[in-house]
Amino acid sequence: MSGAKLTVTTRRPARTDALVVFGTRGLPRAIAEEARRRLVDEAKLAVVPSLGKLRDAERVVVVRPPRRDDALDWRRTGGAVARALAGEPVRRAAVIAPERLPEGPLRAFVLGLGQGSYRFDRYRTKPGPKPVTLAVVCPGRESATAARAALPVARAIERTRDWINTPAEDLGPSEFEREARRVGRESGLAVRVLDHARCRKLGMGALTAVGRASDDPPRLVIVEHRGDRRTKTFTALAGKGICFDTGGLDLKSAAGMELMKKDMGGAATVLAAVAAAAELKLPLNVRGYLALAENAVAGNAIRPGDVLTALDGTTIEVLNTDAEGRLVLADAVALAVREGAARIIDAATLTGAALIALGRTRVPMMSTDRRLGAALQAAAEATGEKVWPMPTDEEYRRQIRSEVADIRNVGKGREAGVIAAGLFIAHFAGKLPWAHLDISPASWSDGAHDLGPRGATGVMVSTLVELLRRLA
């Protein structure tokens, strides 16, 4: 639960253990020759001893810059630099940012530095060495301002990864609520909590039904950044917060349950993004709706065939209790509509079908509004993340029509599962501009990579913050 301590400056620190530079220009000849010898084939960087040729660093990390000013390439480069430094006995390092690097790639590079240095050691009895302190040295004030804008986002990604990596024993609905209150105090957010009784009284029959079998009752937490006091208009972000998912009576297999601590990843993403918007002082209003519950098994659990009534009066036939994330989001989205949202974006670890459709490389995205969908896609590309638009044709909507109730919570078996799940949520957004991110596969990495170790990735946090920045 820690990463590099990132700072941004325009002055090179007087003393460091390592110096990170792009290319060999300006280096002493011996260091430059050794770096060129090691930078062969596809090597992104080389760690070279300074051989006493530099007064302020014992090691030099020579980085091969990406060929294009592409945000993803620069983000991966930042991650590779951080991971290389983590493997060296380095406490302090200065990273000399390239001159004339555009703001977008520069911010992506800083995000990569934060992600690549991340580790989760909360449960280790012998914690590892202290994280390195990285000073990003920018060539001028403008680039330094751009780089500093990435720091709150880097912290938001780290928070998200911490929450998703934490076992459900230590992060159930009640603990998540406490985290939201803590983050609210730190970031200046307004926090409202609708407890189980309040949710039932309001008519949130979907959220309360999903969580009723757990000893830790469901709740809806609303966090708000009020960045524009001149208007009541706000953008809504809704996050699926299933703190553990057994599948309910449609019980998952043991293997399928192994990683279900990550099923609150959508709520974690939303909470972190709203906090980052506040820390960046973005001049817009944004509310995050965190639908928190545990899908447990007990005598009072919802059953296949039950009919639930959501906040907006929609009746829902439950055909599979393991399709519960869309149920809790139904009430969260309906509340956002009732409270006057201008647009709604939801994030959820929603379907296993997303892994079949796109793997872990791209996040399936859906939208009922072309402008919002295009803006979300552009925001992802600008920060070095990847989404892929999925269709919303009327023919797909027919899959969730029910012969018993208004709609049902699953489509036609394995057919177009990502789309059917997303369109279920879209129903509750009504005519409002709506977009959906199914982060289920991309939110978790099965192995180490340029942007961190095995575990939670924090995907789509930077995309949501960038979208909010552009809306502002």
Q: What are 399-420's pLDDT values in tens digits?
A: 999 999 999 999 988 899 999 9
Is 457 in contact with 451 (CB distance < 8 Å)? yes
pLDDT digits (tens, 9 = 90+) for 350-368: 999 999 999 999 999 999 9
DSSP state of 224: E
Among residues 59, 287, 326, 343, which one is catalytic? 326
| Active site (annotated) includes residue 326 | yes
How far apart (Å, rounded) are the C-alpha atoms in residues 213 and 253? 19
- Residues 188-192 have a mean pLDDT of 98
Phi and psi, residue 3, nearest 5°: -145, -175
Whether the pLDDT of residue 127 is over 80: the answer is: no
Angle at alpha carbon of residue 307, lines to 325 and 416, rounded to 5°: 45
| Active site (annotated) includes residue 226 | no
Among residues 92, 252, 360, 386, which one is catalytic? 252
How far apart (Å, rounded) are the C-alpha atoms in residues 59 and 276? 34
- Residues 133-157 have a mean pLDDT of 96
How far apart (Å, rounded) are the C-alpha atoms in residues 440 and 365? 12
pTM (global) more than 0.95: yes
Neighbours of 449 (CB within 10 A): 17
- Residues 314-336 have a mean pLDDT of 98
How far apart (Å, rounded) are the C-alpha atoms in residues 447 and 120? 14
DSSP E strand boundaries for 33-91: 45-49, 59-63
Of 376, 385, 410, the closest CA to residue 396 belongs to 410
- Residues 15-25 have a mean pLDDT of 93
Q: Report pLDDT for 52.
A: 86
Query: Which residue pairs from 369-375 have beta carbons closer than 8 angstroms and sit at least 24 positions apart in sequence?
Result: 369/343, 369/433, 369/434, 369/435, 371/433, 372/343, 372/345, 372/433, 372/434, 372/435, 373/435, 375/467, 375/470, 375/471
pLDDT digits (tens, 9 = 90+) for 263-297: 999 999 999 999 999 999 999 999 999 999 999 99
Structure tokens, 224: 């708000």
Q: Report pLDDT for 2.
A: 67
Q: Domains for the chain: give ranges and CATH numbers.
A: 5-148 (3.40.220.10), 153-471 (3.40.630.10)
How far apart (Å, rounded) are the C-alpha atoms in residues 465 and 277? 6
Share of the chain above pLDDT 70, in %: 100
**Which of the four pLDDT bands, split at 50, 70 and 90, describes residue 216?**
very high
* Torsion sign over Cα 55, 59, 64, 70: negative
- Strand, helix or coil for residue 261: helix
Q: Report pLDDT for 203.
A: 98
Q: Report pLDDT for 15.
A: 85
| Pair type for strands 315-317 and 307-309 | antiparallel
pLDDT digits (tens, 9 = 90+) for 66-102: 988 999 999 999 999 999 999 899 999 999 999 999 9
Q: Report pLDDT for 41.
A: 81
Q: Which of 1-15, 94-108, 182-196 has the lowest mean pLDDT?
A: 1-15
DSSP E strand boundaries for 373-416: 387-389, 407-408
**Which of the four pLDDT bands, split at 50, 70 and 90, describes residue 126?**
confident
| Pair type for strands 434-438 and 363-367 | antiparallel
Helix or strand (DSSP H, E) at 71:
helix 71-86
DSSP E strand boundaries for 359-412: 363-367, 387-389, 407-408
- Residues 362-379 have a mean pLDDT of 98
Return mean pLDDT, the chain. Answer: 96
